[in-house]
Amino acid sequence: MILSFGAVSPWLLPGVLALVAYAVAALLPQRAANAVRAVLMAAWLAHAAAIWIDTSGAGASATGARFGFAPALSVTLWLVIAVYLIESRSLPLAGVRRGLAVLGATAVALALSFPGELRPHLLSRWEPLHWVTGIATYGLFGAAVLHAVLLNRADKQMRRAPQLAAAQSGAFGMPVMRLERLTFRFVAAGFAVLTATLVLGWWFASPWHWDHKKVFSMLSWGVFAALLAGRQAFGWRGRKATGWLYAGTGLLLLAYVGSRFVFEVVLHRAPPV
């Protein structure tokens, strides 16, 4: 299911529609709020259909589940945009829409170009659950990063204009304390799901062996554990807390997306199971 300019498969249509709709959502002026939301919702729905096609192996000659670094990024962005669409109904999230639309379009384009490897056989009946929890982990930490970016921006603007910020509570997107609580709720949920993902991976892996994916996953787990412990014991907040969050998320991206990218794009060979 590789994007090309020749004969276009009908299975590519949802992805192409999502790509175009995300581009339109990024280009529409902010004042057209209703139109922006409608187009972004349409892009999100088309994106969902494209994800189903990518991960189910629909249209492929063989049966099985398809996955790789680009579909993983695609699902992650889809989940983050879902969080945005839900929260933006009741909370002002100024300045986020254009960036998410651009990231969504990029993720869809990558998934169309690099659909991943078709896996006709499973190592264990628990393997699909491991995939689901792994992607849920990416989505939860992606949502945490989204809120952390908003938190850092609000904090920076409040430092520049404290009197204006005090007079207009929430004018920079969302009240800072609420942003902070939401950020750490997503971190805590992501940490719990990441722990379950690692346990499931250890459970059905036979024999267990260390590789780049497992090393980076464990390093990210350690960083998130330190972040939550520092928050609980020392009250970490602000840039120190978000710095740990960014570091842990970067390691988590290297664990699966980074290692798969190297095998699929740089080395042009199937990654080890």
pLDDT of residue 7: 47
pLDDT of residue 2: 45
pLDDT digits (tens, 9 = 90+) for 177-231: 888 999 999 999 999 999 999 988 887 766 667 788 889 999 999 999 999 999 9
pTM: 0.80
What is the pLDDT averaged over residues 143-154?
90
Query: What confidence category does residue 126 fall into, taking pLDDT thresholds of 50, 70 and 90?
Result: low
pLDDT of residue 132: 78
CB-neighbour burial class of residue 30 (10 A; exposed 0-12, middle 13-18, buried 19+): exposed
Least reliable range by pLDDT among 34-43, 56-65, 179-188, 252-261:
56-65
Give the whole-angstrom CA distance, residue 85 versus residue 68. Answer: 26
- Residue matched to tokens 């609980």: 232
> Is the model's pLDDT at 38 over the cut of 90?
yes
pLDDT of residue 5: 41
| Type of residue at 138 | Y
Domain ranges of the chain: 10-266
Contact 172, 157 (CB under 8 A): yes
